[in-house]
Homo-oligomer: A and B are copies of this chain.
Amino acid sequence: MSELDLYEREPVVPPEDYVRMHHTVIRDFVCEIFTAAGLSDEDAQIVTDVLVTADLMGISSHGIQRVKRYVDGLMHCCVNPRPNMRVIRDRGATALLDADNGLGHVAGVKAMEIAVEKAEKYGVSLVLVKSSHHYGIAGYYALKAVEKGYIGISVTNSEKLVAYVNTVTKSLGTNPIAVGIPRRAPPPILFDSATSVVPVGKIELYAKLGKAVPEGWVVGSEGRMLSGDASKVLQEIRSGRAAILPLGGLGEEFGGHKGSGLAFIVDIISGVLSGAAWGLHVRYTVDTAPANVGHAFAAIDIESYMPKDEFYRRIEDYVNEIRSLKKHPSADRIWVPGEKAWYTMMTRLRIGIPIHKKLCDELNSIAKTLGLSRKLC
């Protein structure tokens, strides 16, 4: 595994623009910001852990660069810093949590805890959440179930960014699907994927790196494919003149109906069925009314179906078989879902998380606005 010893899934270029910091230093600082913005200590710790975990995993689009967005929502409109999150329906293996417009991270952790308790009792469970906000990386919650030995599933809707198949404007969220599968030893299997051809974070990363967006990721609202300069493409998406394509692309030839169909189903279960908003109606974190994001969490008790040892043995066999497949000449390596995130996390726990200097300034400025005297770097 030596080639993975310093593995990071995201390139850190140019390195002189970044400061590497130990995750605990970042945690303390971010947690203080959220507390100053009105969250309870416990909730501040939860949100911080979700964000810092994303950075550790090399998903910086969902990491502490989002602190500003959440703090803006908390300070202006419409995130409730002290939500009274309540289970408003509870029946057998199901529950519905009203997140009272609090942050999605807090709701997600609570809901997955309930899902695991219910799976312990009934073998499987499905807990929905309404009146929530953006919850960060979907995989975080799946891993919360995995930590307790359960298969965890987490899906959410999100503000519109993606075109429905054969249409050209934003109507669906990137509506990710995350599934975590325990293994005898880490890394667990973690599938965590937007149902769009790429998450918006990937286009943001391309913009930062000055890379060109390939044809097939984004459609303009007049029907033309947009490619090239990622900053410009991003601007078109933000301004409503373009949309990210669903997984499978614009039409049906390569399965655009599959990607947008998955996004639609995720939205029906997490949004329509929960009582949250859906599609066109899900708002951004900072807006004139609450986002009303909906999430869904399921847990599966492996022991309902087979002894855990047998399951672990079978999973190891499967993983080994995947590793032995014939690699395409263009591929660097055959990856199992979750490995890239896991090995990046192992690297960054050791050598620190690279924080862009501009992000550092932004966080310092947020802290100052909130009356804190500390600086991150």
List residues of A whose CB falls within 8 A of some B CB: 89, 91-94, 96, 121-126, 128, 151, 164-169, 171, 177, 179, 181, 189, 191, 193-195, 197-198, 214, 216-217, 219, 221, 223, 247-251, 253-255, 257-259, 261-262, 264-265, 267-269, 272-275, 278-280, 298, 300-302, 304-306, 310-311, 314-315, 318, 321-322, 325-331, 333-335, 337
Contact = CB atoms under 8 A, between A and B. Distances in A.
A334 B248 contact: no
Contacts of A89: 304-305
Contacts of A255: 193, 197-198, 247-248, 259
A253 B214 contact: yes
Contact of A166 (B280, B306, B314, B331): B331
A31 B247 CA distance: 40
Copies in the complex: 2
Contact of A330 (B96, B198, B251, B254): B251
A302 B273 contact: yes
B326 A167 contact: yes
A306 B273 contact: yes
Contacts of A327: 166-168
A166 B322 CA distance: 11
10 contacts: A89-B305, A91-B123, A94-B304, A166-B333, A167-B327, A194-B258, A249-B254, A265-B337, A275-B305, A278-B314
A216 B255 CA distance: 11
Given A191-B264, A264-B191, A322 B171 contact: yes
Contacts of A219: 328
A181 B328 CA distance: 39
A272 B315 contact: yes
A195 to B, nearest CB: 8
Contact of A191 (B262, B279, B300): B262
Contacts of A326: 167-169, 221
Question: What are the 7 tightest A-B residue pairs by CB atom distance, in nearest-first order?
Answer: A94-B123, A92-B122, A166-B331, A94-B304, A167-B325, A124-B126, A93-B122
